Chains A and B, each alone.
Chain A
Amino acid sequence: MTFFNVYTPLFELALFNALLAFSQYIVLRAGVFSLGTAAFTAMGAYCAGVMATQYGLPSWMGICAGTLLGAVAGVILSVPLARLRGVFQALATLALVQIVLSITLNWVSVTNGALGVNSIPRTVHLSHMLIAVAVVTYLLWAIGRSSIGRAFDIIREDETVAVSLGISVPKHHRIAFTLSGMIAGLAGALHAHASYSITPNEYGFHMLVMVLAMVVLGGRVSVAGPIVGAIILTSLPELLRAFDSYRTVVQGAVLMLSIVFLPRGVVDTALSWLRARRLKAGTATKEARA
């Protein structure tokens, strides 16, 4: 049990990161290059934190409201953002992260500025995080197997084919943005209630890079990808304690090396390797029988 007690904060962090990675994953799967996860997370976190500390509302209300806020922000922003593509989407969402960051820093009466929101009741524990991750995993897995997931895959690979099959690209981009905002809002709200205090700078460029790294490393198609990515990148700093000061160098190197040498991510590469092996074995037995 002591093992669990010592590592509980780490598990919680890994689960939080897995939610963030899911938020990033779902947009990338649909071929949307959004970097907005950090912004939606900030919205969810601040919504829950402010509701709990300034209005004394129960945590579950704050968490629901935070999730809803993320989803609503996703819906609203998706309308203009679905018109853009590639780097333009990336830059617009990057600007969004900066705008939200400025708001949290400057709207002092609500957000308490750079000091952040403090003494948020710690009501969310490992078990809650586990449930949240399990539910989101199921939903994303199911979506991946549905008509929407099939459309996402085609849009990501080839938009021309997608439109030729009758798939509406803006509609699916909107769905992806909304899901991304919702998951990130949920993650932020849960995190606020799991960590006493939140500060604006948690939700900046650094989070954006971390989240992107998790999905790129893990994989962008299979649902297991973001989870594996989150676990690796959460435990990496622990494993690298000895090189503490060079942690970010390693993170950067992981990001670069994985996009260069493992462009599809650990999980998707492993899955396609397994599949190839199974198919080979299948044809071999068939030939042997014949």
Chain B
Amino acid sequence: MLMQQLLNGIVVGSVYGVFALGFTLIFGVNHIMNMAHGAVFMWGAFAGLYAVTMLDVGFPGALLFGAVGGGLLSVLLDWVAFRPLRKRGASDFSAIVSSIGANLILLSLAQQLTQTRVMRFPFDTFPIKVYTIFGLRIQLLQLVIVGLVILMVLGLVWYLYRTSYGRQIRAVAFSEQTSRLLGINPVAINFQVFFISGALAGIAGVLIGLVFNSVHFMMGEPLLLRGFVVIILGGLGSIPGALIAGLLIGIVQTMTVAYISAGMADAIVFSLLFLVLLFRPKGLLGGASAAVRVNRQ
């Protein structure tokens, strides 16, 4: 039973990790806390769902549509909500407020579209196969999810560390001014960053929609809130941090639901966030430095 819950926690947690990866990527490069990332995730799930129900594209198609839909939406978000602020050199406060507004718009549009219904993927979207290994019941979907997450992470790492685009992204993350001097076009970089992070969120949306067999307009909010916990725990802007913290939160959450009570899961997860912020603002693994106090530096 314990092992079973651990497994479920790892599966959910790895999807949290993917979601948080996009979140942390945007923060790492643009220093923006994108409060609408949960809405991108939700719309990604809808894109996948509609692709399956209307175009009958099956599971791979759902992933593709989820990724492209999430990616494009995320780019649009950047253009509408963040770019005007970046041009003005506005504070991170403005970016948070602007993305909260965008989040509200995306959320209520989805609500109107679905008339607040909970939607489901068709029964045959993914074959239900269950393997029993050492008494553990493992679904094929769970295996596929973990495999996909590993693939996506490797892909992202390859992109960031082995391609010239990735080098440019990291240069902008290091210092936008310096990279401008090096002739790097920040518009192209932001397009890539927002597309990649939106695509990751979209895929995460499709996967979560399949795992819990429900897609609805509020599905992004808990993920966004958990996303905060994950990136703070893992250290803002840190890729391995996001993954490890994602797994950790997934496990903590499933365990709490299974052994304590469903209601306490949030209280425990957020208390964890609060404590980490107070005692280790750089995250458990270190990451972008949290601006703490104006002291001699």
Contacts and interface: CB of A to CB of B under 8 A. Distances in A.
A219 B266 CA distance: 33
Interface stretch (A98-106, A132-140, A229-237, A280-288): A98-106
B96 A253 contact: no
A95 B273 contact: yes
B264 A253 contact: no
A256 B292 contact: no
Nearest to A87: B33
A249 B108 contact: yes
Contacts of B111: 248
A127 B236 CA distance: 48
B259 to A, nearest CB: 15
Contact of A251 (B104, B112, B273, B277): B104
A87 B103 CA distance: 17
Given A84-B281, A84-B290, A88-B277, A255 B104 contact: yes
Given A94-B228, A95-B274, A85 B104 contact: no
Contacts of B118: none
Interface string B217-240: 000010001001100100010000
A56 interface: no
B291 A85 contact: yes
B94 interface: yes
Contacts of B261: 106
B237 to A, nearest CB: 11
B277 A263 contact: no
Contact of B221 (A84, A205, A245): A205
**Interface of B, helix, strand, loop or mixed by DSSP:** helix
A163 interface: yes
Interface residues of B, number: 48
Nearest to B236: A87
A103 B102 contact: no
A260 B277 contact: no
A209 interface: yes
A85 B267 contact: no
Interface in A122-158: none
A33 interface: yes
Interface in B243-297: 261, 263-264, 266-267, 270-271, 273-274, 277-278, 281, 290-294
Nearest to A163: B294
A33 B290 CA distance: 14
- For chain A, give the interface size range: 35 or more
B273 A260 contact: no
Given A87-B96, A163-B294, A249-B108, A105 B263 contact: yes
Contact of B93 (A86, A160, A209, A213): A86
Interface string A70-110: 00000000001001111110111011101101110110000
A252 interface: yes
B290 A85 contact: yes
A88 B291 contact: yes
B221 A248 contact: no
Contacts of B93: 28, 33, 86
B119 interface: no
Interface string A154-168: 000001101100000
Given A88-B290, A106-B264, A160-B294, A256 B102 contact: yes
Among A83, A101, A105, A259, max chain B CB count under 10 A is at A259
A103 B104 CA distance: 25
B294 A159 contact: yes
Nearest to A28: B93
Among B107, B109, B293, max chain A CB count under 10 A is at B293
Nearest to A80: B278
Contacts of B291: 84-86, 88
A64 interface: no
Contacts of B136: none
A92 B264 contact: no
Given A90-B96, A169-B294, A106 B281 contact: no
A247 B109 CA distance: 10
Among B90, B105, B112, B225, max chain A CB count under 10 A is at B105
A254 interface: yes
19 contacts: A84-B281, A85-B292, A88-B281, A90-B96, A94-B228, A102-B263, A102-B270, A162-B294, A209-B104, A216-B97, A246-B108, A248-B105, A249-B104, A252-B108, A254-B101, A255-B104, A256-B102, A260-B81, A263-B94
Interface of B: 33, 80-81, 84-85, 88, 90, 92-94, 96-98, 100-109, 111-112, 221, 225, 228-229, 232, 236, 261, 263-264, 266-267, 270-271, 273-274, 277-278, 281, 290-294
Given A87-B33, A90-B96, A263-B94, 11 more contacts: A85-B290, A86-B291, A99-B267, A99-B270, A162-B294, A213-B101, A246-B112, A249-B109, A256-B81, A259-B97, A259-B98
> Across chains A and B, which 6 residue pairs bring their CB atoms closest together, nearest first?
A252-B104, A255-B101, A256-B101, A102-B267, A252-B105, A248-B108
